[in-house]
Amino acid sequence: MTTKKIIRNAFVGMAGILSFSSCSTIPKGVNAVSSFEIEKYMGKWYEIARMDFRFERNLNNTTAEYSIKKNGTIQVDNRGYNYLTKEWKQAIGKAKFAGDPDIAMLKVSFFGPFYSGYNVIALDSEYTYALICGKNLRYLWILSRRTILPEDIKMKYLKIAQKAGYDTSSLVWVEHNQE
């Protein structure tokens, strides 16, 4: 076998592994919200809590703003204030449904063709509070249309997350003290 063929086969194999591992957009046993209305979900959300990960490390005042683009995809505009560097960070990405648009299972990408799960697993009827999970138990967010979250909603969403297997003691509770 030539070196070219070995490299090509290795590349094809890695692509297959990556595509297989990215098929799952939601943790096993967790269900996304049904009867989901994407238009009601659009607009600005404040991040209340999250499982910390490197792209949001040291950020407070984090928000996500969603809008539907002409081609039907969803623009995702994430912002946050790095309290160590004293700078605002912004990441613009895109999202699309992983399947049925009535089910709140989406895929989001900030890096070209690479997508990850974005699943709304709890949502109030007014689309004011949302609990979001990623493709595994390392990604979880609590969002609100306001910078505060009522205690009863907080407790309800924490129980849902714990039942799904999340370690909610490691959540980062976000401050909103900058404009």
Cα separations (Å) of 96 from 32, 71, 133, 151? 15, 11, 15, 32
Number of domains in the chain: 1
| Tokens matching residue 2 | 């030539």
Is residue 117 assigned to a domain? Answer: yes
The residues, any chain, with a CB within 8 Å of residue 37's CB and separated by 6 or more, are 127
Q: Which residue bears the tokens 């912002």?
A: 79
Query: Is residue 17 pLDDT above 60, yes or no?
Result: no
Is residue 163 assigned to a domain? Answer: yes
Which structural domain range is residue 149 located in? 3-173
Is residue 102 assigned to a domain? Answer: yes
Is residue 100 assigned to a domain? Answer: yes
- pLDDT tens sequence across 126-161: 999 999 999 999 999 999 999 999 999 999 999 999
Three-class secondary structure assignment of 22-79: CCCCCCCCCCCCCCCCHHHHCEEEEEEEEECCHHHCCEEEEEEEEEECCCCCEEEEEE
**What integer pLDDT is reported at residue 117 of this predicted model?**
94
| Tokens matching residue 42 | 């659009």
Predicted TM-score of the model (pTM): 0.85
Higher-confidence position of 160 and 8: 160
> Measured between alpha carbons, how far is 81 from 179 in angstroms, rounded to an integer?
9
- pLDDT tens sequence across 81-129: 999 999 999 999 999 999 999 999 999 999 888 899 999 999 999 999 9
What average pLDDT does this structure show over 43-62? 95
Is residue 179 assigned to a domain? Answer: no
| Tokens matching residue 5 | 């063929």
Higher-confidence position of 18 and 81: 81
Is residue 178 assigned to a domain? Answer: no
**Are 8 and 1 a contacting pair, CB within 8 Å?**
no
- The CATH code of the domain that includes 55 is 2.40.128.20
| Tokens matching residue 17 | 């592994």
